[in-house]
Amino acid sequence: MKEQLIDRLKQKQSKIAIIGLGYVGLPLAFTYIDAGYQVLGVDIDKDKIKQLLRGQSYIPRITEQQLLSALDKQLECTSDISCVTEADAIILCVPTPLSKYREPDLSFVTLTVESLLPHLRVGQIVSLESTTYPGTTEEVLKPALEMSGLKVGQDIFLAYSPEREDPGNERYTTRTIPKVCSGMTPACLEVAIALYEQAIDTVVPVSTPATAEMTKLLENIHRAVNIGLVNELKIVAEKMNIDIYEVIRAASTKPFGFVPYYPGPGIGGHCIPVDPFYLTWKAREYGLHTRFIELAGEINGAMPNWVVRQITKALNDRYKPVKGAKILVIGLAYKRNVNDVRESPSIIIMEKLRERGAQVAYSDPFVPKFPLMRKHQFNLASTELHAETIKSFDCIVIATAHDQIDYELLQQHAQLIIDTRGIYSQVADNIVHA
């Protein structure tokens, strides 16, 4: 059974089913398509499926031409999960958010597995790529899959391989980013390696799924903690009238023992604001309190408040109150050159300014209209940046440093710029670093 599956994967005779066609699943689907596989793309969002079938890509890296070509030959998009019976490999790329109590919400994973059970068969591999706490694969997925009557490691194979996507990063692709890979049993690991090494340049096997789960958390906690550190240092440096960006540039000349991290208005996206809390929640099961991780989360979460205070102070220094002020936020996305607004600090800043009576607008070339969101509502479209438009705002806040923004035009015509990303290194009367 195992050998037959491995052989089919290596010969590229297998269909690959990818469940969840978001920022992780869709690029992964195209990585397998480029490697020569037939791919079944599954998503419960019927509007997303309709958009894909029309040839409209919502991932900037995937062009309309690539999508239409794939649909013609290698890609089938559907909301019908029963199609997974045709596939030898089923890869889960579904969300793993936090609940309102900042506890892991695995409902997307568990509901997806429940819906898979009637359609599983002998000789398949199921691999989870969603970020989660150590123990999820063994404690949640394995017993859930075995409710089908299939035994993991003999009839069906189970793997965990955390996604490492970095939207907007042109240097690395899904194929070129090394892939950490684990299996529930030695046989599962063999099959998992065969699944991934056909499409990914470098596969990094580890001993257990818990190791792989912890690896992903370490990667993002490492970033969260260091971003928290440099955000705190930014506040200290501002009080001391020191340019934190000049400090970082100088420290970066050290050829060993230092890695530069940069401050900002807060953290966003699905990973950095969420993943650390998966570990802090699991650690409590062992009677441990992860104080260092939680402190970093507290510092990063407070940055939008600090930015709003800096905006208020800068306006007050110019004899203008926040109430009634026209304020334009540059960048709605959580990071540069992407259209992802999940957990974006820009939105938090906009809400806090609106609460204080400001007239808020935004400009983002990647987000033409404020999206429908459960937590946040703004009836806004992106403002085009022209000289007269820029002059009409009392304050412009650079929250996301997209490459497409004309920062020279902003400086020439803005009454006041609050720079949270270190765009401007020079001193100017209309620029305040925050």
Domain with CATH 3.40.50.720 in the chain: 2-207, 229-433
Q: Tell me, what's the pLDDT at 180?
A: 98
Maximum Cα–Cα distance for the chain, whole Å?
A: 76
Q: Which of 77, 93, 271, 395 is catalytic?
A: 271
What is the band of 373 on the pLDDT scale with cuts at 50, 70, 90?
confident
Q: Which pTM value belongs to this model?
A: 0.93
The secondary structure element, H or E, covering residue 218 is helix 209-239
Catalytic residue check, 181: no
What is the band of 61 on the pLDDT scale with cuts at 50, 70, 90?
confident
- In DSSP notation, 65-115 reads HHHHHHHHHTEEEES-GGGGGG-SEEEE-----B-TTS-B--HHHHHHHHH
CA pseudo-torsion sign 422, 423, 427, 429: negative
Which class is 2-207 in CATH?
A: alpha beta
Q: Tell me, what's the pLDDT at 382?
A: 98
Strands (E), 139-246: 156-160, 179-183, 203-205
Provide mean pLDDT across the span 27-38: 96
Which class is 229-433 in CATH?
A: alpha beta
- CA torsion, ordered 206, 200, 276, 420, to nearest 10 deg: 150
What is the band of 375 on the pLDDT scale with cuts at 50, 70, 90?
confident
Q: Are 185 and 194 in contact (CB under 8 A)?
A: no
The backbone torsions φ and ψ at residue 201, rounded to the nearest 5 degrees and listed phi first, read: -60, -40
Provide mean pLDDT across the span 131-135: 97
What is the band of 262 on the pLDDT scale with cuts at 50, 70, 90?
very high
- Nearest to residue 16, comparing CAs of 1, 35, 29, 3? 29
Provide mean pLDDT across the span 79-106: 94
* Average pLDDT along the chain: 95
Provide mean pLDDT across the span 361-368: 97
| Residue pLDDT, tens place only, 321-334 | 999 999 999 999 99
What is the band of 271 on the pLDDT scale with cuts at 50, 70, 90?
confident
